[in-house]
Structure 1
Amino acid sequence: MTANTDTTDFTPPYNITWRTFLGSLDRMASDASLPSVIDRSYLSWMPGSVQTSYLTLCRQFGLIDDDGSPMSLLSEIVYTPNSRPEVVARLLRVHYAAIVELGKTHATLQQLMDLWKETFGQNGETRRKAITFYMQAADFAQIPVSPLWERGVAKASRQATPARRARPRARRTKQKPTAPQSTSTPSDTVVLASGAGTLSISVDIDPLLLSEEDRGFVFGVIDSVHEYQNKHTSDTTNDPEDTTS
């Protein structure tokens, strides 16, 4: 059983994130030994499409052979965490040789994309994802990259992320201004003509809600009070003054 070391057919991974790859190493390290075969049943925690990309990546990086059996390099990168950056750096220099060399210069993002397409034949969204994987792996392995790439890739990733649709804001109903309500209740006091005392009347109603019958009753009472007051006020005014001889 031999690993696939032919770099001419290398296809940069793009349907898997660098974080997923690193996480798989930690998950394997939680077991005392590697399984005899790295297959889909072992990778049950991954979605099916990611499993396919992961197995392809492992074969191309020489971590497993064509039958899925682990190679010594996989054991090293799993059980010797401190050596992972060095191992990743070796893999990048072998499989991304032209990109590593270009990264040592102040190359632009367009130069990177042109060389990427020329070297690997990838374009569009596939190329963007593959470059993102490489940039994160290079950062982990401390492989130098052009500073222009970092800004460009970060910007392209933000633009490729679908914007979250804003929730429609509830439409506010414009309320009509209301007239300030009086805090006091209208009232009146009538002095009885007989001198027997006083009669007080107060009104606490909403005139807009009165029925026709209510209006007749309420305003009839008010009118009666006013008539009584006017009558006895007039009587008092017209009384002749007492004279004494």
Structure 2
Amino acid sequence: MNTPPRLALMPSDTDRAQEAARHLRELADFVPLEQAEVAVVLGGDGHMLHALHQMLDSGHVIPAYGLNYGTVGFMMNKPKSSRPLLERIARARPLAVNPLEMIATTGSGAQESFCAINEVSLLRETRQTAKLEVSVNGKVRLPELFCDGILVSTPAGSTAYNLSANGPILPLGSNMLALTPISPFRPRRWRGAIIPDHYEIDFRVIEPLKRPVATVADQKELRDILAVKVKVARERQLTLLFDPGKTLEDRIFAEQFQF
């Protein structure tokens, strides 16, 4: 008989999630994250991203099973079920998610590295339009892009900020990244690109003093940016757990038929 996995409980600060956590603690035993084999995440998509980043930062990366006590819950499971929690986790289907690695060079010359599960974005800091050079695999593809910003999205994040910026929805098995401009001014007709996920993407900020740019990796922001490199961090793969028939892959595919 298989031994049930050790569970860590990671609720958000909302009243709904805290109430659900109190109820679950009466039904199951939980251990600290560093001792756990599966993380039970209570909240919405934003809290799931926070929990996954907490695991990446700690170096203890384990599968995450989310229960939706937020708003959209694209990365979560339905909170109520007739099945006990341990049975739901045992039946859940794993889904591998590869985050992005962002390496940013600031005005001081320092380099900072962060991971992003949804997207890396570059955004203008002031009223001045951002002016960017965009290279793919070392070749300059756009010598000058005037825009409010630009983002690189994973398939998992393609229905989030990327979709709001009129970027494409990417199936999870596509092995592609979406490169999507935000309010492009010149070239006006450029609407972005779909790029193989083994390519590296480089951005260089042109006129950084006149046109300062910030970069954001999911929830982490850096200002006064000179350059940004983005690539897939395959060695830091994450695993999400979904109830059968309710996977993120199914939801992303269905989203293409919404209007």
Q: Does the alignment reach a TM-score above 0.5?
A: no
Higher RCO structure (Cα 8 Å, ≥6 apart): 2
Give 1 or 2: higher helix fraction.
Answer: 1
Normalised by the size of structure 1, how large is the TM-score?
0.22
Normalised by the size of structure 2, how large is the TM-score?
0.21
Give 1 or 2: higher strand fraction.
Answer: 2
